Amino acid sequence: MTAQIHDIADQRPHLMVVASDGAHVIPRALIQSVIDGKQPSTILSEPVVQRIIEEWLQKVTN
């Protein structure tokens, strides 16, 4: 298995999402662009979306 590694040091702030397929570091601006409808949610992998929803659900139900 190989992974694509990108230097995102210039794209701060960013989020770390520990999903079932590993850890992902995602620029906050990318997440915001998905929320705003400027990027499709499919730009994020299914395990990342699942983890984001899982963490959100924990926050709103506690």
Whole-angstrom Cα distance, residue 28 to residue 17? 11
pLDDT at 62 over 60: yes
The pLDDT score that the predictor gives to residue 7 is 74
Whole-angstrom Cα distance, residue 26 to residue 52? 12
Whole-angstrom Cα distance, residue 55 to residue 39? 21
Q: Please provide the DSSP assignment of the chain as one string.
A: --------TTS-SEEEEEETTEEEEEEHHHHHHHHTTSS-GGGS-HHHHHHHHHHHHHHHH-
The pLDDT score that the predictor gives to residue 1 is 54
Q: Which is higher by pLDDT, 9 or 61? A: 61
**Full-model pTM:** 0.76
Residues 5-51 have pLDDT tens digits of 777 677 778 889 999 999 998 999 999 999 999 999 999 999 999 99
